[in-house]
Amino acid sequence: MSTDQTGTRQMKVHDLLGIGIGPFDLGLAALAQPLDDVDAVFLDQRDGFSWHAGMLIEGTTLQVPFLADLVTMADPTSPYSFLAWLKTTGRLYPFYIRESFYPLRAEYDQYCRWVAEQLPTLRWGRRVTAVVRVADPAPSSGEGGYLFEVTAETAHGVEKYCAKHLVLGTGTQPRLPAFLAALEDGPGGAAGPVVHTSDYLPRRAELAAAGSVTVVGSGQSAAEVYRDLLEGCGTGPGEHRVDWVTRSPRFFPMEYTKLTLEMTSPEYTDHYVSLPIEQRDVLGREQRNLYKGISGDLIDDIYDTLYRKSALGAEVPTTLLSNTEVVAARFDPAGSDPAGSDPDGADPDGADGAGEYVLTLRHAQLGTTAEHRTRAIVAATGYAASVPAFLAPGLVNLDARGRYAVRRDYTVDDDGRIHVVNGEEHTHGVTAPDLGFGAWRNSVILANVTGREPYPIERRIAFQQFGLPDGGDGPGRGSTRPAEHPTDNEMEAAR
């Protein structure tokens, strides 16, 4: 707090305020920390940092190399790098001898917690309830005469903050299809739980004890849960049945080829942003295997586990169904038809009438339907971004579908002072959720805040071009400079 010439106490004005502290905003806080011209503060409603705690299954790894940490791709000399954490904790040589670029998920979470503990700009236990514009009592050139006032509830009362720039890092939330959400809130009976993968580990024992579990969904999370449950899959005492149903046409691997990886580049992002909104929505669905596929090693491990379990001639109580969508679900409290629990007609765990979930399955190619019975469900149905309700009306620009209308420089307001991280997949494509591109995006944000480049921003890193050579096709299509604004088509939709 400060006092003006009239004696009125003024709220401290921060240069930058971040809402939500996931890996991307945590990386931004780490990069902002050594900058003398950035006074930053970051708020989060949780009590401390936690990264996908429900999916820190033992042995699982990141799908990106360790260089995709919070800071290295912007500042390889940063004291907040993954290698710095390894050195501090005495694990650098073991990691070196391990000879793998891919850290364990649990390691990455520990690393992020270590960084969070060192940053004095993080404020935990602050639930943001309102963000509005207020008049700037001492307006500076180029700031538009206003500030952002942020209200946050804490265990000790209400706090207010003021800032010149905002970063919305509220991230994505678990997504459940309506019919599974209804089951989650339903009677349950003696059946097991219906959980999203984000809550898997705390419920794992309960899931296994149900006797039969069905994993619904695709991608790495579904594969990791299926592989974890597969180890206890069997017909003996304490064992269970596990099935996997996905509407994807196959259990597809994430594509790691180098020219494809160049799509996580500034140039491809320029190209993607320049496309009409309708075309981007189509591409978003078509490019799922670029960042929502399964690690090839994990696919092989699942097959090898199935092979090992079946090698002695015993039947493995599991079914993998691709091209199959769950179109409806209900709860049968009597569990009256255990013989229908799987395609082979076997009772999942030998107990009748214990209560079951009945899933209606539809095969995309055949057009046929069938019922599948199970006593527990894990929904690997992904996450979705949304516009927070705490934002005052008109504060950010939205497209015709109610999503952020994100400009190339990650801003969502007319004055370029509100940034979004990991909420721009529909506008920026595969780089939005990519951990390896987070430091680049944060470099752009800090350049916007400071009016300089504290961390050099690479404009070209790819060998290929994603449009025709320069010839009047506009920024992002063969051009070396980023597209600064959304297309006219998108701006019209935003209005």
Residues 131 and 150 occupy one common structural domain: yes
Vertex 352, ends 370 and 222: CA angle to 5°? Answer: 50
Write down the pLDDT at residue 256: 84
Mean pLDDT by 10 residues, the chain (495 residues): 43 95 98 98 97 94 95 98 98 97 96 98 98 87 82 97 97 91 66 91 94 94 96 86 95 90 94 94 83 90 94 89 96 62 43 77 96 96 93 95 95 97 94 95 98 96 88 42 40 36
Residues 312 and 403 in one domain: no
Question: Using CA atoms, how far apart are residues 18 and 398, in angstroms rounded to an integer?
Answer: 20
Q: Are residues 128 and 29 in the same domain?
A: yes
Give me the percent of the chain exceeding a pLDDT of 90: 75
Apex 357 CA angle, 351 and 360, nearest 5: 125
CATH number at residue 315: 3.50.50.60
Beta-bridge mates of residue 372: 359
- Let me know whether 229 and 132 are in one domain: no
Domain boundary among 333, 348, 380: 380
Q: Please check whether residue 272 lies inside any domain of the structure.
A: no
Domain-located, residue 108: yes
Q: Are 407 and 348 contained in the same domain?
A: no
Beta strands in 333-441 (DSSP E): 356-363, 369-374, 377-380, 383-385, 418-420
* Contact assessment for residue 380 and residue 216, using Cβ atoms and an 8 Å cutoff: yes
363 and 394 belong to one structural domain: no
Contact between residue 118 and residue 34 where contact means Cβ atoms under 8 Å apart: no
Residue 193 lies in a domain: yes
The answer to whether position 3 is within a domain reads: no
Contact in structure between 371 and 340 (CB atoms under 8 Å): yes
Q: Is 28 exposed, middle or buried (0-12, 13-18, 19+ CB in 10 A)?
A: buried
- 454-470 pLDDT, tens digit each: 999 999 999 999 988 76
- pLDDT value of position 217: 94
Structural contact between residues 445 and 406, judged by C-beta atoms closer than 8 angstroms: no
Other Cβ atoms less than 10 A from the Cβ of 423: the count is 27
The answer to whether position 56 is within a domain reads yes
Closest to 17 (Cα-Cα) out of 453, 419, 390, 395: 419
φ, ψ for residue 164 (rounded to 5)? -85, -30
Is 328 found in the same domain as 223?
A: yes
Rg of the chain over Cα atoms, rounded to whole angstroms, equals 25
Residue 489 lies in a domain: no
Cβ-contact 421, 461 below 8 angstroms: no
Residue finishing a domain among 357, 380, 403: 380
Range of the domain at 431: 8-173+384-450
| Residue 343 DSSP code | T
Give the span between the Cα atoms of 159 and 480, in whole angstroms.
44
- Indicate if 129 and 245 belong to the same structural domain: no
- The answer to the question of residue 461 being in a domain is no
**Rounded (5°) CA angle 33-34-40:** 35
The SS3 call for residue 143 is coil
* Integer Cα distance of 216 and 180 in angstroms: 10
Q: What is the pLDDT of residue 440?
A: 98
Same domain, 57 and 180: no
Does one domain contain both 161 and 187?
Answer: no
User: Which residue among 353, 380, 407 closes a domain?
Assistant: 380
- Beta-bridged to residue 165, according to DSSP, are 16
pLDDT digits (tens, 9 = 90+) for 170-216: 988 999 999 898 886 555 555 789 999 999 999 999 999 999 999 99
Number of domains in the chain: 2
**pLDDT tens track for 298-325:** 999 999 999 999 998 878 999 999 999 9
Q: CA 83: distance to chain centroid?
A: 23
Residues 322 and 230 in one domain: yes
Structural domain contains residue 463: no
pLDDT recorded at residue 183? 86
Task: Please tell me the distance from the alpha carbon of residue 117 to that of residue 111, in angstroms, as a whole number.
Answer: 10
Q: Are residues 153 and 236 in the same domain?
A: no
